[in-house]
Amino acid sequence: MADKFIVSSSPHFVKKESVASIMWTVNIALIPAGLIGIGIFGKAGAWLIAVCVFAAMATEYIIQKGRRQLITVSDGSAFMTGLLLAFNLPAHCPLWVGAFGSFFAIAIGKQAFGGLGRNIFNPALVGRAFLMAAWPKYLTVFNKPFVYDVVTQATPLSLLKEGKANSMVDMGLTYWDLLLGNKGGCLGEVCVLALLLGGIYLLYKKIITWHIPLSFILSVAIFTYIFKGDPLFHILSGGLALGAVFMATDYVTSPITKTGQVIFGVVCGLLTGVIRLWGGYPEGVCYAILIANTLVPLIDRFVKPRRYGMA
């Protein structure tokens, strides 16, 4: 009797990781920043996270159900989109704004392109950019840390951009304040230490590599230093840590090769620096990543991986 062979297409070596395991690992890595954000801004932050996550998952379910597609809400990707969007909003942002942003992120930023793996932009950033264009007043009012009412405080980048302060001394802040979250800012971006711990966890689990985060952050630091800025201030301010570790590293919207990822990170960093120093908006991470997303096909085209067996 002839031996039986199983014929299948590549890949023939399959790792244990799945889309769901990767997504939920990233969600776990975001927990410290979320908990500290809630601790800093109070229950308003918890409600915002809950509404954004629920709206994102509900939108994905309804669209997939309407298209008679496989329901993939449990894979954690919609959960992560809602969570990241909430992290990019002020803690006391109206809940309906967060819900609408999650709907837009999933419906337009993800499902309009065909769903997970086909979107060309990071969905959470698409939702945030839309909200910034539609209702900017809700995204530019930040509450003072550890005060759970309507007491507001400008972000360090806003104070610098508006010329109300020329240094951290003028702002009454230290580097420790910026690192630990004692500053105005969005819900999930204020505590840089928690975000870095989440990034270390993802590096340990080999979900991400150092190429994009490090090249992104170093590019911002070098660029601002050249133009007489404070590199450490820019690293610890705004959404740089959140964007570099958790959004620029998105598998779907970032280059395939390691060299391409470094180029992508540098582009993100330079765009962030340009917007922060000379743009009309104090923060540049969101738009920098979205613009760099459009360049990914071009980067992948000119930075091709070496073919197997070729010298």
Band the pLDDT of 10: cuts 50, 70, 90: low
Q: Is residue 14 part of a domain?
A: no
Q: For residue range 148-181, what is the model confidence (pLDDT) as tens digits?
A: 555 567 788 888 877 777 777 778 888 999 999 8
DSSP letters, 285-309, are HHHHHHHHHHHHHHHHHHSPPPPTT
| pLDDT for 3 | 60
Domain annotation covers residue 169:
yes
Mean pLDDT value across residues 246-257: 94
Q: CA Rg, the chain, in Å?
A: 20
Mean pLDDT, all residues of the chain:
90
Cβ atoms within 10 Å of 311's Cβ, excluding its own: 4
Residue 54 CB neighbour total at 10 angstroms: 16
Whether the pLDDT of residue 258 is over 80: the answer is yes
pLDDT at 211 over 90: yes
Residue 311 domain-assigned (yes or no): no
**Is the pLDDT confidence value at 42 over 60?**
yes
What residues contact 56, with CB distance under 8 A and at least 6 apart? Answer: 78, 79, 81, 82, 85, 102, 103, 105, 106
- Do residues 264 and 254 make contact, with C-beta atoms less than 8 angstroms apart? yes
Of 131, 143, 133, the residue nearest 55 (C-alpha): 131
Decide if 227 contacts 237 (C-beta within 8 A).
no
Domain count, the chain: 1
5 within a domain of the structure (yes/no): no
Q: Is residue 11 part of a domain?
A: no
How confident is the model at residue 171, as a pLDDT? 80
Cut 0.85: pTM above it: yes
Report the alpha-carbon distance of residue 73 to residue 68 in Å, rounded. Answer: 14
pLDDT band, very low/low/confident/very high, at 273 (cuts 50, 70, 90):
very high
Residue whose pair of structure tokens reads 């590599």 in the numeric block: 209
Task: Print the domain residue range for 181.
Answer: 19-302
* Residue 19 CA to its chain's centroid (Å): 18
What is the pLDDT confidence band of residue 12, given thresholds at 50, 70 and 90? low
Q: With bands split at pLDDT 50, 70 and 90, how would you rate the model's confidence at 11?
A: low
Tell me if 223 is assigned to some domain.
Answer: yes
Q: Is the pLDDT of residue 29 over 60?
A: yes
Q: Is the pLDDT of residue 84 over 90?
A: yes
Residue 27 within any structural domain of the chain = yes
CATH classification of the domain holding 118: 1.10.3430
Q: What is the pLDDT of residues 228-243, one digit of tens each?
A: 888 999 999 999 999 9
109-140: pLDDT as tens digits: 999 999 888 999 999 999 999 999 999 999 98
Is residue 185 over pLDDT 70? Answer: yes
Q: Region 192-205: what's the mean pLDDT?
A: 96
Considering 8-22, 80-94, 167-181, the range whose residues carry the highest mean pLDDT is 80-94
Residues sharing a CB contact under 8 Å with residue 284, sequence separation 6 or more, in sequence order:
238, 271, 272, 273, 274, 275, 276
